[in-house]
Amino acid sequence: MTPEPRPSVLEIAAYVPGRASSGSAGKQHKLSSNENPLGASPKAREAFIAAASSLERYPDGGATALREAIASRYGLNASRIICGNGSDELLSILATTFLSPGDEAIFTEHGFLVYRIVTLAAGATPVVVPETGLAADVDAILAAVTPRTKVVFLANPNNPTGSYTSADQVRRLREGLPDGVLLVIDAAYAEYVRRNDYDAGIEMVATRDDTVMTRTFSKIHGLAALRIGWAFAPAAVIDAMHRVRGPFNVNAAAIAAGVAAMGDNAHVDRSIAHNERWLPEVSERIRALGFGVPPSVGNFILIDFAPVAGADAKAADAFLGARGVVLRQVAAYGLPQMLRMTIGDEEANEATFAALKAYHEGLGVG
Identify whether the C-beta of residue 127 lies closer than 8 Å to the C-beta of residue 135. no
Nearest to 125 by CA among 108, 143, 150: 150
Banded pLDDT at 171 (limits 50, 70, 90): very high
Looking at the domain that runs over 42-264, which CATH code has it been given? 3.40.640.10
Write down the pLDDT at residue 365: 52
Write down the pLDDT at residue 366: 46
- pLDDT at 337 > cutoff 80: yes
Cα diameter, the chain = 62
- pLDDT at 224 > cutoff 80: yes
Q: What is the pTM of this model?
A: 0.95
Domain boundaries, the chain: 7-39+266-362, 42-264
Architecture of the domain delimited by 7-39+266-362 = Alpha-Beta Complex (3.90)
- pLDDT at 132 > cutoff 70: yes
- pLDDT at 125 > cutoff 50: yes
- pLDDT at 263 > cutoff 50: yes
- The tens digit of pLDDT for each residue in 287-306 reads 999 999 999 999 999 999 99
For 19, counting Cβ atoms within 10 Å of its Cβ (0-12 exposed, 13-18 middle, 19+ buried), the class is: middle
Assess whether the previous peptide bond of 234 is cis (omega < 30° from 0): no
- DSSP assignment of 92-125 equals HHHHHHH--TT-EEEEETTS-HHHHHHHHHTT-E
Residues paired with 29 in a beta bridge: 325
Identify whether the C-beta of residue 95 lies closer than 8 Å to the C-beta of residue 121. yes
Calculate mean pLDDT across residues 90-119. 97
Banded pLDDT at 91 (limits 50, 70, 90): very high
Cα distances (angstroms) measured from residue 256 to each of 68, 147, 263: 12, 44, 11
Write down the pLDDT at residue 84: 98
Identify whether the C-beta of residue 173 lies closer than 8 Å to the C-beta of residue 200. no
Percent of the residues in the chain that have a pLDDT greater than 90, as a whole number: 91
Whole-number Å distance between alpha carbons of 210 and 184: 9
- The tens digit of pLDDT for each residue in 7-52 reads 878 787 777 777 777 666 678 999 999 999 999 999 999 999 999 9
